[in-house]
């Protein structure tokens, strides 16, 4: 009995080390997630005076609410990638690899082993998430934000439910999928559908509301969002399906007779054994396809954004630069609000002296002194060849009307066409030091080290699967 108990503990301990390793590594991963959260928060602060404040205020507020919300997003992405990447060792796919054969012959119930490993995996992952959450709260104290304890419990419960869903989805798909590639693709699709449901059922509106997230009961309040109750029901159903799948998989060790049509999965390649022997049929998994698309998108977007920043920077220094008759400007003041807000990317159409202007137009004109200074103002009156312009919003300590300018019609060379608030926030970030490093080095790495990067990833995945 002692031998049997030791063997059982060894099996569980081995699966534990193969997945998330020991306690030291758990703490290091959780600290890494917390540091990533703080780094992202500080990066987001660069765009605080842009449209990002209106689109994603929950990511830019200097508060514990923002930090915990950002950590939940980081944990969601991390665990999704982790479970898909280390699917073999961290899920129950090892049943098909005959790793538990000796234990079954020693009298252990395979169903109990499966359920025990599922329980251990969920506890381990929740422990890792909790440690990362605690590290995030501790690091937030260094930023000297106002401590509001009401946000912590609802944020922790919301994040823990997200992580628990990923764990159960990965484990259940490993019990019912016929191949590793299909299992990974199914898990990825399930996670994407889950995020779509969060948006459709108003769950994201709930968890991004600071007032509602001060009460943990709102997560399960159907008046706020039915997603919480749906998620609990799905988690219970997945546990039920896990038990049924475990009993079904347990029969794997009691099958008799010749087994045909066996598929061996290795390095995203499926080898099928049939009546004519072994034949190789390469299959490209959905994560592999998405990875290649992501690399191409990173390369294209990095080059495009660098060109965009270059054009915007040039246009801020001289009035002569234009692209196909349009002049982009990154607005760095509030003088034209609400038409053009601070840090918007405003595009002006180049015009000549015969272009018809009217009162209310926002125009672009140069300094009469002949230097490179450019003005953006609104037309308030037109008298022949003289145009009176003014600001829409005056800075503090300036009297309204004190900065009006009378401009010669020939000096006006551009008229406001359209502003792009999101692009302005992106340009603002890219103009920062971290943004420049990111956009300048990523294309270089992708272009010149693509074979080395993909080779390293293939070797890493092969080592993980072995």
Instruction: With cut-offs at 50, 70 and 90, classify the pLDDT of residue 311.
Output: low
Instruction: Give me the pLDDT at residue 6, please.
Output: 45
Please report, to the nearest 10 degrees, the dihedral formed by the alpha carbons of residues 17, 23, 25, 29 taken in order: 120
DSSP-assigned letters across all residues of 355-377: S---TT-EEEEE-TTSSS-EEEE
| Cβ count near 313 (within 10 Å) | 14
pLDDT value, residue 430: 72
pLDDT at 362 over 70: yes
Question: For residue 52, what pLDDT is reported?
Answer: 73
Over residues 68-96, the mean pLDDT reads 80
Reading the block at residue 219, the tokens are 């997560």
pLDDT band with cut points at 50, 70 and 90 for residue 288? low
Distance, CA of 305 to CA of 318 (rounded, Å): 20
The architecture of the domain spanning 316-431 is Ribbon (2.10)
Structure tokens at 269: 């390649």
Binned at pLDDT 50, 70 and 90, residue 268 comes out as: very low
Q: What's the distance, CA 150 to chain centroid?
A: 26
Domain boundaries, the chain: 2-255, 316-431
Helix ranges (H only) for 86-109 are: 87-90, 101-105
Q: Rounded to 5 degrees, what are φ and ψ at 402?
A: -75, -20
Highest mean pLDDT out of 107-116, 221-230, 291-300, 450-459? 221-230
Contacts of 38 (CB under 8 A, 6+ apart): 67, 136, 139, 140, 143
- What single DSSP character describes residue 147? P
**Worst-scoring range by mean pLDDT, 4-18, 293-307, 317-331, 381-395?**
4-18
305 pLDDT band, cuts 50/70/90, is low
Whether 412 and 377 have beta carbons less than 8 Å apart is answered as: no
- pLDDT tens for 34-51 read 989 988 888 888 776 677
- For the chain, the maximum distance between any two Cα atoms, rounded to a whole number of angstroms, is 104
**Contacting residues for 271 by C-beta, under 8 A, at least 6 apart:** 263, 264, 265, 278, 279, 280, 281
Q: In a 3-state reduction of DSSP, which class is residue 134?
A: helix
pLDDT at 265 over 80: no
pLDDT average, residue stretch 131-139: 91
CB 27 within 8 A of CB 34: no
Strands (E) in 275-316, as ranges, are 277-282
Torsion region of 76: left, alpha or beta (phi above 0 gives left; psi -120 to 50 gives alpha): alpha
CB 318 within 8 A of CB 329: no
Q: What is the mean pLDDT of residues 245-269?
A: 54
pLDDT computed for residue 457 by the predictor:
64
Helix (H, G, I), strand (E, B) or coil at 382: strand
Query: Exposure of 316 by Cβ count < 10 A (0-12 exposed, 13-18 middle, 19+ buried)?
Result: middle
Question: What six digits make up the tokens of 371?
Answer: 């230097």
Percent of the chain with pLDDT over 90: 12
Distance CA 389, CA 356 (A): 16
Query: Does position 270 have pLDDT exceeding 50, yes or no?
Result: no
Relative orientation angle of helices 180-200 and 152-176, to the nearest 10 degrees:
150
Q: How many Å apart are CA 403 and CA 54, to the nearest integer?
A: 30
Average predicted confidence (pLDDT) for the chain: 75
Average pLDDT of the residues in 16-22: 47
Please give the structure tokens belonging to residue 288. Answer: 């592999």
Residue 5 has pLDDT above 60, yes or no: no
Taking residues 441-448, report their average pLDDT: 62
Q: Is the pLDDT of residue 12 over 70?
A: no
Residue 448 CB: number of other CB atoms within 10 A? 10
């Amino acid at each position: 009995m002692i031998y049997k108990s030791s063997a059982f503990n060894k099996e569980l301990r081995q699966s534990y080390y193969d997945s998330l390793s020991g306690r030291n590594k758990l703490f290091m991963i959780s600290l890494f997630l917390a540091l990533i959260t703080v780094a992202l928060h500080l990066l987001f602060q660069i765009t605080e005076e842009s449209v990002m404040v209106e689109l994603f205020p929950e990511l830019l507020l200097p508060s514990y609410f923002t930090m915990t919300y950002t950590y939940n997003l980081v944990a969601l992405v991390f665990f999704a990638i982790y479970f898909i990447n280390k699917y073999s060792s961290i899920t129950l796919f090892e049943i098909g690899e005959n790793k538990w054969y000796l234990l079954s012959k020693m009298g252990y119930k395979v169903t109990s082993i499966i359920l025990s490993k599922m329980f251990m995996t969920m506890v381990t992952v929740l422990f890792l998430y909790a440690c990362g959450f605690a590290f995030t709260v501790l690091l937030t104290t260094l930023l000297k934000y106002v401590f509001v304890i009401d946000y912590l419990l609802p944020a922790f419960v919301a994040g823990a439910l997200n992580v628990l869903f990923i764990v159960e989805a990965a484990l259940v798909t490993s019990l019912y999928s016929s191949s590793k590639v299909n299992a990974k693709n199914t898990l990825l699709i399930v996670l994407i559908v889950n995020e779509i449901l969060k948006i459709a059922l108003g769950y994201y509106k709930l968890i991004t509301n600071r007032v509602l997230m001060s009460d943990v009961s709102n997560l399960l309040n159907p008046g706020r969002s039915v997603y919480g109750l749906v998620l609990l029901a799905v988690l219970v159903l997945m546990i039920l399906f896990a038990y049924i799948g475990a009993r079904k998989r347990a029969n794997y060790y009691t099958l008799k007779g010749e087994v045909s049509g066996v598929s061996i999965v290795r390095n995203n390649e499926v080898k099928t054994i049939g009546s004519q022997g072994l034949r190789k049929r390469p299959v490209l998994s959905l994560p592999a396809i998405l990875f290649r698309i992501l690399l191409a998108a990173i390369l294209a977007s990095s080059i495009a954004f660098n060109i965009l920043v270059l054009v915007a920077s040039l246009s801020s220094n001289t009035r002569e630069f234009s692209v196909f008759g349009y002049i982009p400007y990154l607005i760095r003041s509030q003088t034209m609000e609400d038409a053009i807000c601070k840090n918007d990317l405003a595009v002006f159409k180049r015009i000549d002296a015969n272009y018809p202007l009217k009162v209310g137009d926002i125009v672009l004109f140069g300094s009469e002194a002949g230097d490179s200074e450019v003005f953006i103002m609104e037309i308030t009156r037109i008298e022949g060849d003289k145009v009176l312009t003014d600001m829409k919003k005056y800075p503090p300590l300036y009297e309204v009307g004190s900065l009006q300018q009378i401009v010669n019609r020939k000096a006006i060379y551009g008229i406001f066409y359209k502003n792009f608030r999101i692009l302005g926030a992106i340009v603002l970030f890219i103009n920062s030091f971290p943004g420049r490093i990111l956009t300048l080095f990523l294309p270089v790495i992708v272009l010149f080290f693509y074979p080395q990067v993909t080779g390293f990833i293939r070797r890493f995945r092969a080592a993980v699967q072995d």
